[in-house]
Amino acid sequence: MQNHAVFIDSEPPSPVGGGIRTYIQRTTELLRAEGWKTRVYTHTPAAYPKQDVRLIGRVAWPARLLRGLAYRLCHEQAVGYGTSLAICNALLREDQGNTHYEFCDYNGLAYHSLKNIRLYPRIAVRIHTPLHLILAENSSGHSWLSRFLLKKRELYCLRKTPYLTCPSPDFISQHFPNGKSAEYIPNPLPNKLEPFEATSPKVLTPHFLFLGRRESRKGVLELLHAFSRCLNRHPSWKLTFVGEATDPSYEAEIKQLVNRLSPQLQPCIRFEKPFAGNKAELFQNFSFVLLPSRFENAPYAYYEAISANRMALGSATGDMGVIQKLTHGFNPIPGDVDDWEKVLEMVWEQKEKYHEWLAQQDSWWQNRNAQANELLIGHWNYRLKKS
């Protein structure tokens, strides 16, 4: 009988994929090569054109005292509980004894499934970035009750799941020091990007790229402050932001800062919409990819930069901090404008080492790629033996 691996994608409806989707796409690819049959539950079926997919639904919260009040005070969490219940019902309808589940979770969507005695022994939760940490960073528009219920549901899932995995052990020790220990399984790396002529530029240019959503936890504002200071000394530098803006008030702060720059420096900073084409075509225009996140577990944009033979520079958080100790050695402090300014200056002062840094990143890539694939397949095979 063929084994089934079912993944629950917690990303909100969006045509633009995030790290969770890239992880699921790569993991299902590897599992199918090992003979598994895979299925994905998602809010955006179009994100998985070659997959057996199911649209995540929602049911109303079961009748409870003060249910109407709960919907008014914390509508998002009422929807979250309803979505969790709908997922549990859907999994039960198609469940087979040889089916194993993984919630790629940052919204506590495993809550009801973990309470079901039939599903419980075969459920894993993989920590990417729990949503309650994001809201603790920027709680705009979310009541204290909503944040409390979200944190309660997410922590329940992290404590109760039989299998808890994480792509960065440092992230666990930093944010959940007293929680349940997680099994370290690195993200399978993305496929190497097809090279363009400028894959390894002979003439280094001071062109920097930020790739990701423009939101506070990604550290965009801190990067802008640091970069604008550097521009006063290096007016030839250019910084391009590619990604969508998710918080209007935060976007207003960004525009306000850019407007304060002198007229000759404003053209050095550009904002572009999310990129839907060949990533290699995007990366060829830049020498450096910056990920100044305030906290981050294991961002795929970082891995993609390395795969495109570009220097990836991120904050000393999660997997990025670990990788940078083994490659170029720069580890700017998350959220620290002064440190980011200092590191950007140091990188440019030592730019003659650029190709050496690329070689170190490539060496890391080769070692991690084999390790990640081996650990991932070993984890799923172990679960088979235990069931």
Q: What single-letter DSSP state applies at residue 273? A: P
* Cβ-contact 187, 338 below 8 angstroms: no
Among residues 53, 122, 60, 117, the alpha carbon closest in space to that of 85 is found at: 60
* Cβ-contact 347, 330 below 8 angstroms: yes
Question: Residue 231 corresponds to which amino acid?
Answer: L
* pLDDT(202) > 60: no
* Cβ-contact 300, 187 below 8 angstroms: yes
| Average of per-residue pLDDT values in the chain | 88
Among residues 36, 20, 373, 34, the alpha carbon closest in space to that of 189 is found at: 373
Spatial distance between the Cα atoms of 333 and 314, rounded to a whole number of angstroms: 9
* Cβ-contact 316, 332 below 8 angstroms: yes
Q: Provide the pLDDT for residue 197.
A: 46
pLDDT digits (tens, 9 = 90+) for 113-145: 999 999 999 999 998 887 767 766 666 666 767
Residue 212: other Cβ atoms inside 10 A? 25
pLDDT digits (tens, 9 = 90+) for 309-341: 999 999 999 899 999 999 999 999 999 999 999
SS3 content of the chain, % helix, strand, coil (to 5): 50, 15, 35
pTM: 0.87
Spatial distance between the Cα atoms of 132 and 233, rounded to a whole number of angstroms: 39
Please say whether the dihedral angle defined by the alpha carbons of residues 34, 15, 314 and 132, taken in this order, is positive or negative: negative
* Cβ-contact 332, 288 below 8 angstroms: no
pLDDT digits (tens, 9 = 90+) for 4-61: 999 999 988 876 667 889 999 999 999 999 999 999 999 999 989 889 999 999 887 6
* Cβ-contact 87, 113 below 8 angstroms: yes
Spatial distance between the Cα atoms of 19 and 8, rounded to a whole number of angstroms: 14
Query: Using alpha carbons only, what angle is made at residue 244 by residues 133 and 289, rounded to the nearest 5 degrees?
Result: 85
Query: Using alpha carbons only, what angle is made at residue 267 by residues 265 and 268, rounded to the nearest 5 degrees?
Result: 70
pLDDT digits (tens, 9 = 90+) for 247-289: 788 888 898 989 988 888 899 999 998 887 778 889 988 999 9
Residue 383: other Cβ atoms inside 10 A? 20
Domains and CATH numbers, the chain: 4-185 (3.40.50.2000), 207-366 (3.40.50.2000)
* Cβ-contact 268, 237 below 8 angstroms: yes
